[in-house]
Structure 1
């Protein structure tokens, strides 16, 4: 079985990715509450060795806004910590417990928590990045484009240093799947759920990563988002990975698969470049 095939299914892929994730080199602070509800908790991954005032990356996992658990993404926390970043991985409410924008509101609370507590873990709150894969990239993109959510949580888009989106749905109207129609109901409010609709030039720098062979979230989402950012004079980098699928894009973040793709290198290089170009 090929390396990427190992992560062909989400459940088995996460099991093996986490089973083979190193337990050394970082400390995991688990199940910290950022709100009062059961799924409003997060984990913080702190590298054993990191520069003072390390960048902080809040990463949201995917799952069609219907599934997922931060415990299944230890491999992402370890990946980011291995590059010297403070990684924050939140859980958030899912359908049917909530619908849009409930999970985005949870995301905003988690980001505000990370900003307020960054220094407690050796991080720099002025070098705060939001990121995610698939539905998680959508949540992060909404926070980086529509200022209402962070404002309501006591933060601001201007507090974000950057956004890294992996296989994100940013421009996915019309919604045809019946369950997704319920998640984003009513139809009249669908445009409110599209990050691309809020791009006006005030967004933080963006890295948009997408697999050319992604048939779950089509690459046009990232291409269209990049084009809109360019139209308004924003700062954006677009990386399309040939022959890479939806799950294949995040697979190289797992320790045993890092040699199969450059995604983690590209992610880390973007964060370091933004920090270098915009010291605060």
Structure 2
């Protein structure tokens, strides 16, 4: 489905991002991972396509993002898609308890990184009539207690996705977002262990989604694969829930 496509994937070293990298590679894409953490060569070689690269990149540093895109173009010649997946959720706080530094970090990683990848990638996407995919979250639509700034960034991603879809439609560039609920990733496991009621949290996460217990990131990767493929060629401005029905109706969670 992604044969010969060159995809830039941020935050691809683990979790949902790594599952996406594997899915894109299996579908025939060249995967270019930008992540603050290095990826060992033996892990990178798990990707099925011969062409792939991983660049250590601080996504809130514009110069590093610009250099990464330059490297990708020099190596592969084009960019067909950008998947803005990098994000952080820490800290778990109400708005009044959030420090300026915590606010700035969440806004920079979750939002400014999209500004930089778009600024340095849009010219290449115009040439290929490519697409952009943003990783959002159900909390951006339904909210979440004790995560005010994280929720704000995901709500902003939803609104930004729609604005970008309109702005870039004249260039035949599609812009969509995927919206997970609870996904079993290292980030979520780390968060759950920090909570005072760890056992209750795990039970809650497993019961959150009517379709079944908390899945791994491959369910998100499958949806992302579709949105980046030509099968979704007339879909833009969509915030696609991949939530197992977590947002549906009042339910008793026992």
Q: Same fold (TM over 0.5)?
A: no
Higher relative contact order (CA 8 A, sep 6+): 2
Return the structure number with greater helix share: 2
Bin for the TM-score computed over the shorter chain? 0.3 to 0.5
TM-score (norm 1): 0.41
TM-score (norm 2): 0.44
